[in-house]
Every structure is written in C-alpha cells, then in structure tokens.
Amino acid sequence: MAYLGRQPLVGNYQVLDAITATTTDTYALTKNSVAVYPQTPANCIVSLNGVIQAPFDSYTISGSNIVFASALTASDSIDFITVLGDVLNVGTVSDGTIGLAKLSATGTPSASTFLRGDNTWQSAGGANTPAFLASATGSAQAFSNATDTLIQYNNSVFDTDSGYNTGSYSYTVPSGQGGKYRIGAQIFMQSAGNAGYTYIAVKVNGTTKLALQSGQTPTVTNQHYQAHGILVLSAGDVLTCYEYQNSGATRNQIAGADDNFFYGFKLIGV
C-alpha cells in the first residue's frame, strides 16, 4: 500500500528548559532538569534576542553546555533552544524492515551461515580437515624380537590434503595446517603367551609422542594393540608408527585392513 502525503518526521526533537542570560558565555543545557548533550551545533536552533543564531559562528556545543561566541549580559534574552535530534537518529525501526542487503557484513548470507560477532557470515560447524586414514594391506608384516619396527601402513584410504606417503608409511602435516590433531593407530598381532610385552607408538619427527604398552594374554590367540590421543602439531611435522615386542621370537601381524590402521584429523574450534 502506497503512502500519500508528507513524509513522516523521525527524530528526537526537544525544546530545552528556559535559560536566563547572565554575564557569561557558557550555559548548561537541560530538558526537565536533565542534562542534554547535542552532538553538533548544527542540530540546534538557538534564538537570542529574537534572532536565530548561526551555529559554529555564534555558538558552539561543549558536552551539555552551549558556549556563545561572546559573553551575554543580563539584558539579553535567550528566547529558546531546540535540539533537532541526534545525528542519523532514525528512531525505532519497524519489525521486518531491514533486509540482509542493508547489513555491512562480509561473506555470503544463506540458510547454512550465521552472522558472527566480527561482522562476517560464517558456516556453522566445519570440516575436521586435514584428515587421513591409512591401512595395511597385502602380506602380513613380521616384527623381530626386541626391535622398534616401522609399521607398513601401505594403503591410503583417504587423504584430504595429500599428506600421507605410502612409500615411507608417514604423514606430514601440510603447510599452514598446524594445530591440535586427534591421532591414532592400531595393529593386530599374534599373541605370544605371557612372555614379554608389546607396545605401539606414534612418533613425531622420530620422537615417541603416543604409546601404549600391553602385556600378553595367555588365553588369547591374537591381540589388538592401539595408541590414541591429541597432539599439538606444526606444519612439516612427520608422523610414523612403530611396534615393539620382546616375546623372545619374531611375531607376525595378522593381515587385514580393518584391523591395521593409522589415522588423524585436525580439531576445529579448539
């Protein structure tokens, strides 16, 4: 429906309390005895001795005071002072009148984004990437007694940022992707009764960062060994997995991609 007639006025118009002139140039501005702070002389109308005064030239505003260009006298008459409203005061906006195009936020508004406190449109949640998963396929790997042996996870199941190397069985944190990562590994091994122990270790640049040691369970033919945790990594860090066992003899891995894996993903929002 079209509106016919004069455009409605919107603003905070105030006729201020009467002021009695004295021998000074500065006077407090109030409305119902409460201080008023005009934002600029230009949004005030001041009548002195029946003459409208020129803002800036005839008077200025200092906080809640009006300062005339020269001191008045008791015979002068400050007829009235009107404040026309704050700069760009649009009053109370009606519901549903501001569309997305009127917002200054950067990014793209959509059903899947939200407006952040830094005035940007962002997607909710996010992907935990980089991420990778490697498995061991083919023939079972043999692990010598009392030896730290690199586990040959030779199959890349997925690798979002091309960090996994199936030749060196290692993962390198991609450029610009340092942060907190969830890292884990598992190997399925032949049991050796109750002799010795086994551990699987995740190393970063050759130094063990995650490891879990386990004794042998005599009644179990084969056992899974795992190491999992959160690591703070830097771009260029190289991750590898090792197995150690001291059962007194060589022990073999039990082949199967579902039982032998090495994985990692970057945590978001932490």
- In whole angstroms, how far apart are CA 34 and each of 17, 18, 133, 218, 253? 9, 13, 69, 88, 85
Task: Report yes or no: 266 and 131 within 8 Å, Cβ to Cβ.
Answer: yes
**pTM of the predicted protein model:** 0.57
Q: Which comes out higher in pLDDT, residue 238 or 247?
A: 238
Q: Classify residue 122: in a domain, yes or no.
A: no
Please indicate, yes or no, whether residues 142 and 259 belong to a single structural domain of this protein: yes
Please indicate, yes or no, whether residues 79 and 139 belong to a single structural domain of this protein: no
Q: Classify residue 192: in a domain, yes or no.
A: yes
Residue tagged 């002195």 (tokens): 48
Q: Classify residue 25: in a domain, yes or no.
A: yes
Q: Classify residue 213: in a domain, yes or no.
A: yes
Does 46 score more than 90 pLDDT? yes
Structure tokens at 104: 């200054």
Please indicate, yes or no, whether residues 215 and 153 belong to a single structural domain of this protein: yes
Please indicate, yes or no, whether residues 73 and 149 belong to a single structural domain of this protein: no
Residue 79 lies in domain: 14-83
Tell me what pLDDT residue 104 has.
77
Q: For the segment 196-237, what is each residue's pLDDT rounded down to a tens digit?
A: 788 899 999 999 999 987 765 555 578 888 999 999 999 999
Q: Of 22, 50, 83, at which residue does a domain stop?
A: 83
Please indicate, yes or no, whether residues 161 and 260 belong to a single structural domain of this protein: yes
All residues at 6 or more sequence positions from 152 whose CB lies less than 8 Å from its CB, including other chains: 136, 141, 169
Q: Of 83, 113, 139, at which residue does a domain stop?
A: 83
Percent of the chain beyond pLDDT 70?
89
Dihedral (Cα; 159, 165, 167, 169), 10-degree rounding: -90
Domain count, the chain: 2
Mean pLDDT over the full length of the chain: 87
Please indicate, yes or no, whether residues 149 and 62 belong to a single structural domain of this protein: no
Q: Classify residue 116: in a domain, yes or no.
A: no
CATH value at residue 261: 2.60.120.40
Query: First vs last Cα of the chain: how many Å apart?
Result: 51
Categorize the per-residue pLDDT at 8 as very low, low, confident or very high, splitting at 50, 70 and 90. low
Task: Report yes or no: 145 and 247 within 8 Å, Cβ to Cβ.
Answer: yes
